[in-house]
Chains A and B, each alone.
Chain A
């Protein structure tokens, strides 16, 4: 493998620049921001899953002393339903209806009005005084209910096959001839699976503080995965031009995809504009759970056919994913990623975007891919049993490699999937003995990864240190990794490099932190910026020495004559050149803006051991090893952290996490007590194996690493449970009552 070993900083577990602030409580999250004259915004939310809003009377709220402004859908820019306006993957027609109910309230918790008042208590009281006349409508929450012939239709304008429908979209990818493929198959397994919507579970609730001056100049402090996304969406929804909005990213307390859209910012902006006062809004956990995006619940049918020797000849998947109340479920991830680990000649993969009366989904770590992988990787396990093959051998026999054409389009370049399978097979975990009521499962997963727009500025300070400004909120360690890259290129100690996240006015456009794109994209622009800086430094030294810049080389943080022919000069360090900058041409710095290309997909293979308490129905994960092709681990500690974090989230999804609805169509567990994400003591040490197959299209060989580790987990756990009990669970979560009921029912 082409692993570069002579680096000083790339590959080091350097101390994270945000670490001290976070452990001492000094880090400033959005809710920590205050301003003189600040008032508080609160949202009135629909109690109904589905209701036409006949009228809203805000007069009593406005009359309450202390209330400074009220906004409703009328204050928000309308995007008529017949014309799509896209911002990235989001359609402003749906965003404007998600931040505030327009014609109808579409889920319990859907904002109906917002109030700003001098105290939180007055704002809450004012919300109670708003009179909303609702015409309550029949509702549908689950996929099957939403697809019934007589299902309540959420949006009359939404048509599928010519009729009003709750199917908002269909995506299909095809390769070969699926019918012919199954004809050639000697063993065919077809199964149907369901998963529940699960929340990203970030610790920090959504929060913002927004000030709007009399001339509309708007300043936003908020926590998000993209300050430029916040600026653009707020601009669209309020009508304030982007040039008048400065969005300042706060330190972020977790996102996992859930902070790639706005909820509060447009409302707080309008309240601030109306009241003339800075407005702060902070969601409660209950609001987060009721009204912000989980990922989709799903119903998937997967059919795989193979020859007796294990050669897979055909694969078909049908994936129904819940969008929530407005279109936009991540069918692309389910449809595109599910079969990508395999070289299969005939594939048909179809996804449907299903509307229902629950909160609109938002991105969640490899959106859609874990849902598809759960179905496909469980069927692969059954296929391996049917063929009497080791499940890793079956995967190796059919593994995608360099030159394989994926069903979703691309021909894979040099990829590291086979290496993950081989590393898993060779790992002591795979051969370790198992005890009574214990079982082992394996599963693989793929995520596209992404490139896209990124900007950076690298400036040399007057004292010869470095400040790097990038435009992506750091949710996975990008500041530490960028410091490693920049220090490596400049040949200086990484502690001399400060990496900051700029706001929308101080750094060039940079797309969201999402899609496992940030280090790929920002390391590319920082590399190019740093190289420009080094060119300048060489030119300065050449000028001082009165030789040709080509005769100067940059090494170990200083300019040196490139060869004895260039002359005899003492090296000029970064600090010396910085000190001479005013006389030798001025400030030293460079910025680069790119639409980065060359991000390549990532693959992982996981091994999971479980033990089942068959009397109580409790499944415990007792050992876990995640193997992943990480490209090049610029900061291995962070890469391992990403892998462990993804696995932890997947175990929660597999075992306990789900929204529980009551008879009124409302979420009954809107908090961390009864929405059961795993706690530390629920998990064993999550072991990681980093396989490094560098991305040839990236200066440091970077591949995205953040999303792949969630993709295989639920299938790995389900396959382990099957191995322990001889029973297969086709529906998640495998919670204790469900496990016990299944064990009892089938004896």
Chain B
């Protein structure tokens, strides 16, 4: 029964000042595929909604001068899928973003919203972490950058400061021989939430893995960057021993809970299984480049 104010500013400055001025009662609206559901369920009752979709920087996809990509925080999954180049360079990030919700939801849902909603099971986040994406945030004190993995603080909480808005993701340029992939375990085949999600990005040179990053979702309060798993892959030819070591590192990194979506034992075990399968796809894509 409380009134809700709705603003749709066309500049980031306007958005930041309105958002910061309203304090904790304000919510950012990108695709709204989490926010509107939470409002309907009565778990969130915002006094101000700041719709960021009219801010061009938030909905732009740019290729940077060095060959990387900058993706606006409010770019819907369906729009990212239609980009002629993005999915060729970052197929794993794209497949992860495109797993957020159903086909209908993809018309709205964004990677920025997925990150800021801060669910440990968010599909796009492990892939973004694996990709080494850096986010730009804007707040009352100007802009700053941080790695994706530094954003989530726990379920539903982020390390963004009061008044800060997530603006964009910057993905680094890809050396030749690189590939990425994202896999999740769900009991169904679609329309479900990850029981475990795994993103892997790697670069191969002469069959040897030179760099690797691994993101693991739904196994801890936040999506994890699993450096030990990456370390196990780097320097190897992705042979069984290296993959087993990386899988064990993933299982060891798990700090999951027993809940309606899976048990501790189950999540811990399949984190390793997914690592092996995801790394195999990433390696295949790297070889195909």
Give the interface of A toward B (CB within 8 A).
Answer: 121-122, 125, 615-618, 655-656, 660, 668-669, 673-674, 676, 678-679, 681-682, 735-737, 740-741, 744
B185 touches A679 (CB 8 A): no
CB distance from B96 to the nearest CB of A (A): 18
Q: List A contacts of B5 (CB < 8 A).
A: none
Q: List B contacts of A674 (CB < 8 A).
A: 193, 260-261
Instruction: Verify if B81 is at the interface (C-beta below 8 Å from A).
Output: no
Contact for B265 among A618, A668, A679, A741, CB less than 8 A: A741
How far apart are the CA atoms of A122 and B1 in the complex, in Å?
8
Q: List A contacts of B262 (CB < 8 A).
A: 736-737
How far apart are the CA atoms of A616 and B185 in the complex, in Å?
8
Q: List A contacts of B269 (CB < 8 A).
A: 740, 744
Contact for B189 among A122, A682, A735, A744, CB less than 8 A: A682
- Smallest CB-CB separation from B273: which chain A residue? A615
A616 touches B260 (CB 8 A): no
How far apart are the CA atoms of A673 and B187 in the complex, in Å?
11
B273 touches A681 (CB 8 A): no
Interchain residue pairs with CB less than 8 A apart (18)? A122-B1, A616-B270, A617-B270, A655-B187, A656-B188, A668-B260, A674-B193, A676-B192, A682-B189, A736-B195, A737-B263, A737-B265, A740-B266, A740-B269, A740-B270, A741-B265, A741-B266, A744-B269
Contact for B260 among A618, A669, A681, CB less than 8 A: A669
B190 touches A736 (CB 8 A): no
A736 touches B273 (CB 8 A): no
Q: List B contacts of A737 (CB < 8 A).
A: 262-263, 265-266
Q: In chain B between 247 and 274, which residues have their CB closer than 8 angstroms to a CB of chain A?
A: 259-263, 265-266, 269-270, 273
Q: List A contacts of B260 (CB < 8 A).
A: 660, 668-669, 674
Instruction: Verify if B21 is at the interface (C-beta below 8 Å from A).
Output: no
A735 touches B187 (CB 8 A): yes
How far apart are the CA atoms of A616 and B263 in the complex, in Å?
13
How far apart are the CA atoms of A618 and B196 in the complex, in Å?
14
A679 touches B273 (CB 8 A): no
How far apart are the CA atoms of A125 and B2 in the complex, in Å?
12
Contact for A616 among B1, B193, B261, B273, CB less than 8 A: B273
Q: List A contacts of B189 (CB < 8 A).
A: 679, 681-682
Instruction: Verify if B25 is at the interface (C-beta below 8 Å from A).
Output: no
Known: A122-B1, A618-B187. A673 touches B192 (CB 8 A): yes
Q: List A contacts of B188 (CB < 8 A).
A: 656, 676, 678-679, 681-682
CB distance from A649 to the nearest CB of B (A): 15
How far apart are the CA atoms of A324 and B171 in the complex, in Å?
54
- Smallest CB-CB separation from B270: which chain A residue? A616
How far apart are the CA atoms of A737 and B270 in the complex, in Å?
10
Q: A669-B260, A676-B188 are in contact. List 11 more A-B contacts (CB 8 A).
A: A121-B1, A615-B270, A615-B273, A616-B185, A616-B273, A618-B185, A678-B188, A682-B189, A735-B187, A736-B262, A741-B266
How far apart are the CA atoms of A673 and B192 in the complex, in Å?
6
CB distance from A532 to the nearest CB of B (A): 51
Q: List A contacts of B259 (CB < 8 A).
A: 668
How far apart are the CA atoms of A668 and B192 in the complex, in Å?
16
Closest 10 CB pairs of A and B: A737-B266, A681-B189, A660-B260, A615-B273, A669-B260, A737-B263, A668-B260, A679-B191, A682-B189, A121-B1
CB distance from A290 to the nearest CB of B (A): 14
How far apart are the CA atoms of A674 and B266 in the complex, in Å?
17
Q: List B contacts of A679 (CB < 8 A).
A: 188-191
How far apart are the CA atoms of A682 and B192 in the complex, in Å?
12
Q: List B contacts of A618 (CB < 8 A).
A: 185, 187
CB distance from B244 to the nearest CB of A (A): 13
Q: List A contacts of B270 (CB < 8 A).
A: 615-617, 740
Chain A proximity mask over B175-195: 1 for CB below 8 Å, otherwise 0: 000000000010111111101
Q: List B contacts of A681 (CB < 8 A).
A: 188-190
Q: List A contacts of B273 (CB < 8 A).
A: 615-616
How far apart are the CA atoms of A309 and B1 in the complex, in Å?
74
B185, B187, B190, B192 interface centre (most CB from chain A within 10 Å):
B187
CB distance from A183 to the nearest CB of B (A): 45
- Smallest CB-CB separation from A656: which chain B residue? B187
How far apart are the CA atoms of A641 and B263 in the complex, in Å?
36
Known: A668-B260, A674-B260. A736 touches B187 (CB 8 A): yes
Q: List B contacts of A617 (CB < 8 A).
A: 266, 270
- Smallest CB-CB separation from A681: which chain B residue? B189
Contact for A736 among B1, B185, B191, B193, CB less than 8 A: B185
Q: List B contacts of A668 (CB < 8 A).
A: 259-260
How far apart are the CA atoms of A701 and B4 in the complex, in Å?
62
Chain A proximity mask over B182-223: 1 for CB below 8 Å, otherwise 0: 000101111111010000000000000000000000000000
B193 touches A673 (CB 8 A): yes
CB distance from B47 to the nearest CB of A (A): 16
How far apart are the CA atoms of A80 and B269 in the complex, in Å?
55
CB distance from B250 to the nearest CB of A (A): 13
Q: List B contacts of A678 (CB < 8 A).
A: 188
CB distance from B76 to the nearest CB of A (A): 21
How far apart are the CA atoms of A380 and B225 in the complex, in Å?
51
CB distance from A368 to the nearest CB of B (A): 26
How far apart are the CA atoms of A676 and B261 in the complex, in Å?
10
Q: In chain B between 230 and 289, which residues have their CB closer than 8 angstroms to a CB of chain A?
A: 259-263, 265-266, 269-270, 273
Q: List A contacts of B265 (CB < 8 A).
A: 737, 741
How far apart are the CA atoms of A684 and B41 in the complex, in Å?
34
- Smallest CB-CB separation from B193: which chain A residue? A673
How far apart are the CA atoms of A681 and B273 in the complex, in Å?
23
How far apart are the CA atoms of A655 and B269 in the complex, in Å?
20
Q: List B contacts of A676 (CB < 8 A).
A: 187-188, 192
CB distance from B266 to the nearest CB of A (A): 4
How far apart are the CA atoms of A487 and B280 in the complex, in Å?
62
- Smallest CB-CB separation from B267: which chain A residue? A737
CB distance from B251 to the nearest CB of A (A): 13
Q: List A contacts of B192 (CB < 8 A).
A: 673, 676
CB distance from A664 to the nearest CB of B (A): 14
Q: List A contacts of B263 (CB < 8 A).
A: 737, 741
How far apart are the CA atoms of A573 and B189 in the complex, in Å?
56
CB distance from A495 to the nearest CB of B (A): 35
How far apart are the CA atoms of A656 and B185 in the complex, in Å?
14
Q: List B contacts of A121 (CB < 8 A).
A: 1
Q: In chain B between 119 and 153, which residues have their CB closer than 8 angstroms to a CB of chain A?
A: none
How far apart are the CA atoms of A121 and B269 in the complex, in Å?
46
- Smallest CB-CB separation from B1: which chain A residue? A121
Q: In chain B between 88 and 137, which residues have their CB closer than 8 angstroms to a CB of chain A?
A: none
- Smallest CB-CB separation from A617: which chain B residue? B266
Q: List B contacts of A669 (CB < 8 A).
A: 260
- Smallest CB-CB separation from B263: which chain A residue? A737
CB distance from A673 to the nearest CB of B (A): 6
How far apart are the CA atoms of A679 and B101 in the complex, in Å?
13
CB distance from B272 to the nearest CB of A (A): 9
- Smallest CB-CB separation from B259: which chain A residue? A668
How far apart are the CA atoms of A615 and B272 in the complex, in Å?
10
Q: List A contacts of B261 (CB < 8 A).
A: 674
Q: In chain B between 1 and 51, which residues have their CB closer than 8 angstroms to a CB of chain A?
A: 1
How far apart are the CA atoms of A656 and B189 in the complex, in Å?
12
Q: List B contacts of A655 (CB < 8 A).
A: 187
How far apart are the CA atoms of A744 and B188 in the complex, in Å?
22
How far apart are the CA atoms of A674 and B262 in the complex, in Å?
11
How far apart are the CA atoms of A735 and B195 in the complex, in Å?
12
Q: List B contacts of A682 (CB < 8 A).
A: 188-189
Q: List A contacts of B191 (CB < 8 A).
A: 673, 679
How far apart are the CA atoms of A744 and B273 in the complex, in Å?
14
B1 touches A125 (CB 8 A): yes
- Smallest CB-CB separation from B272: which chain A residue? A615
CB distance from B119 to the nearest CB of A (A): 12
CB distance from A344 to the nearest CB of B (A): 38
Q: List B contacts of A673 (CB < 8 A).
A: 191-193
CB distance from A736 to the nearest CB of B (A): 5
- Smallest CB-CB separation from B41: which chain A residue? A286
CB distance from B41 to the nearest CB of A (A): 8
CB distance from B152 to the nearest CB of A (A): 21
